[in-house]
Amino acid sequence: MTKETDYIIVGQGIAGTVLAFTLMKAGRSVVLIDDPALSSASKVAAGLYNPVVFKRLSKSWMADELIPFLDTFYTALEKKLGCTFHFKKQIVKLFAEEQEREFWLKKTNAEVGKYLDKTINDYFLPGLVNNPLGAAEVQHSGSIDTRVLLSASADHFRHLGCLLEEKFDTDQLIISEDHVSYKDHRAKKVIFCEGFRAAENPYFKWLSFRLTKGEILTIQLQDGHEIPFEKVINKGVFILPMGNNLYRVGATHTWDKLNDDATEEGRAELVEKLEKVIKVPFVITEHLAGVRPAVNDRRPMLGLHPEHPALGVFNGMGTKGIMLAPYFAEHFAGFLEGRNELDREVDIRRFA
Ligand SMILES: Cc1cc2nc3c(=O)[nH]c(=O)nc-3n(C[C@H](O)[C@H](O)[C@H](O)COP(=O)(O)OP(=O)(O)OC[C@H]3O[C@@H](n4cnc5c(N)ncnc54)[C@H](O)[C@@H]3O)c2cc1C
């Protein structure tokens, strides 16, 4: 018997998960298809969100809209799922040179200033961290424990009977003008949220991805040293406290060998940078890699296939899925339901 649903979503990474909850909140029915054996950037991600671009010390794109939106979205989702995964944290920028410190103070009076604390801390964890030039903090930043969010969401979808844990096979998709059929499911639309695998999707491989591999370590500090849970250290690498004296350290950026193999080079690069920041011994407890669905113009990719309007895509979250997904899921859901147009900057028609 054919099962009718409003939307089939392919992929239960951060993009597919957030879109599914957004559509469900609007009263739509959803079936998610995700193969847990495939690699997922979301499961590897540190989960940080940061309204500041450190390279230029400027405001991250749309930070003023994205940060309050994600705060409301993830807080409501924690309540719905009955678990905790959203942590507000200050990112502590350790200055590498005197000019950086002066630049920071100058920028506190610029547009980005509302995110930059004016106080320079000359003695941030002096026994643990190398920072002869002092440090200052980013405000309104934080992290999402993506593994907790994704696994609690998967439990929720299983409970609702709307999660199929298998590989989606485009050969079995039957496309009509106003609906799709896939095995025994029929939906108004199928929305692909496949992360970097969209580059292999026969209907969307024309999208202009600039996929980026990233590697990340989990370490444990030795000899009883601890970084406070609500602080994230940044200097060349970030060090993100996860609890139980475990810390995520990352991340690398490479543009070849786009797979989830953790490499010796990646590990060596992170260890070298980490040893410049912290003075105490550590052990590596985990080393993972993933591929970010990054885009040439660094904007998300939302929209419908130009010839098959029953096929859609919600992707291109790049290095910032945590910040981008909630706001743009709402924007995309509004478009799918005829409430708003798509913003040209994120519409996939820019690649057509
Ligand atoms: C090392 C590293 C660190 C990162 N740190 C951060 C960070 O701190 N903050 C941040 O915001 N972002 C970070 N990112 C980026 C972030 O991971 C991405 O922006 C985000 O996870 C992309 O989510 P997605 O759902 O689009 O893709 P994915 O998470 O890759 O999810 C795609 C899903 O689709 C499924 N899938 C694909 N094809 C099929 C198919 N044919 N059938 C069934 N299922 C399929 C996969 O199983 C997967 O579950 C990091 C990435 C890496 C690699």
Percent above pLDDT 90 for the chain = 93
Instruction: Give per-residue pLDDT as tens, 299-336.
Output: 999 999 999 999 999 999 999 999 999 999 999 999 99
| CB 60 near ligand 1, within 6 Å | no
Query: Closest by alpha carbon to 94, among 319, 323, 320, 276?
Result: 276
| CB 40 near ligand 1, within 6 Å | yes
Report pLDDT for 296.
93
Mean pLDDT of 6-17: 98
Q: Above 90 in pLDDT, residue 223?
A: no
Whole-number Å distance between alpha carbons of 269 and 46:
17
Which residues contact residue 79 at a Cβ distance below 8 angstroms, ignoring those fewer than 6 apart? none
Looking from the CA of residue 46, the nearest atom of ligand 1 is 8
Mutation test residue for ligand 1: of 69, 183, 218, 317, the one with most atoms within 8 Å of CB: 317
| Three-state secondary-structure class, residue 131 | coil
Whole-number Å distance between alpha carbons of 349 and 259:
28
The verdict on whether omega for the bond into residue 251 sits within 30 degrees of 0, i.e. cis, is yes
Question: Cα torsion for 4, 302, 193, 184, to the nearest 10°?
Answer: 20
- Residue 106's φ and ψ, nearest 5 degrees, are -65, -45
Mutation test residue for ligand 1: of 9, 35, 42, 320, the one with most atoms within 8 Å of CB: 42
Report pLDDT for 213.
98
5 to 279, 303, 309, 313: CA distances (angstroms): 56, 20, 17, 17
| Residue nearest atom 6 of ligand 1, based on CA coordinates | 45
CA geometry: angle 14, 257, 11, nearest 5 deg: 20
Instruction: Give per-residue pLDDT as tens, 328-340.
Output: 999 999 999 999 9
| CB 321 near ligand 1, within 6 Å | yes
| Three-state secondary-structure class, residue 107 | helix
Looking from the CA of residue 42, the nearest atom of ligand 1 is 21
Q: Above 90 in pLDDT, residue 126?
A: no
Mean pLDDT of 204-228: 94
Mean pLDDT of 18-46: 97
Mutation test residue for ligand 1: of 170, 197, 248, the one with most atoms within 8 Å of CB: 197
Mean pLDDT of 224-249: 95
Residue 41 alpha carbon to ligand 1 centre in Å: 3
Q: How far is CA 25 from the centre of its chain?
A: 21
Give the pLDDT band of residue 123 (cuts 50, 70, 90): confident
Report pLDDT for 352.
81
Mean pLDDT of 191-206: 95
Q: Answer whether 241's CB lies under 8 Å from 231's CB.
A: yes
| CB 194 near ligand 1, within 6 Å | yes
CB burial string 118-133: b at 16+ within 10 A, e below: eeeeeebbeebbebee
| CB 11 near ligand 1, within 6 Å | yes
Percent above pLDDT 70 for the chain = 100
Looking from the CA of residue 316, the nearest atom of ligand 1 is 26
Mean pLDDT of 96-125: 93
Secondary structure letter of residue 123 according to DSSP: T
Give the pLDDT band of residue 1 (cuts 50, 70, 90): confident
Confirm or reject CATH 3.50.50.60 for domain 3-44+147-209+296-351, answering yes or no. Answer: yes
Give the pLDDT band of residue 124 (cuts 50, 70, 90): confident
Q: Which amino acid does the sequence have at 242?
A: M
Q: Radius of gyration over alpha carbons of the chain, in Å?
A: 21
Q: Above 90 in pLDDT, residue 264?
A: yes
Q: Above 90 in pLDDT, residue 276?
A: yes
Which residues contact residue 339 at a Cβ distance below 8 angstroms, ignoring those fewer than 6 apart? none
Q: Above 90 in pLDDT, residue 152?
A: yes
Q: Which amino acid does the sequence have at 54?
A: F
CATH 3.30.9.10 intervals, the chain: 88-141+210-292
Report pLDDT for 122.
87
282's tokens: 């550590």
Which residues on adjacent β-strands are paired with residue 4? Answer: 186
Mean pLDDT of 84-101: 95
Q: Answer whether 303's CB lies under 8 Å from 312's CB.
A: yes
Mean pLDDT of 157-173: 97
Burial of 78 (0-12, 13-18, 19+ CB in 10 A): middle
| CB 253 near ligand 1, within 6 Å | no
Mean pLDDT of 133-138: 95
What is the side-by-side strand order in the sheet with 48-49?
48-49, 135-144, 86-94, 231-235, 237-243, 246-250, 212-221, 282-292
Q: Above 90 in pLDDT, residue 224?
A: no
Superfamily grouping for domain 88-141+210-292:
D-Amino Acid Oxidase, subunit A, domain 2 (3.30.9.10)
| CB 227 near ligand 1, within 6 Å | no
Q: Above 90 in pLDDT, residue 156?
A: yes
Give the pLDDT band of residue 145 (cuts 50, 70, 90): very high
Q: Above 90 in pLDDT, residue 153?
A: yes
CATH 3.50.50.60 intervals, the chain: 3-44+147-209+296-351
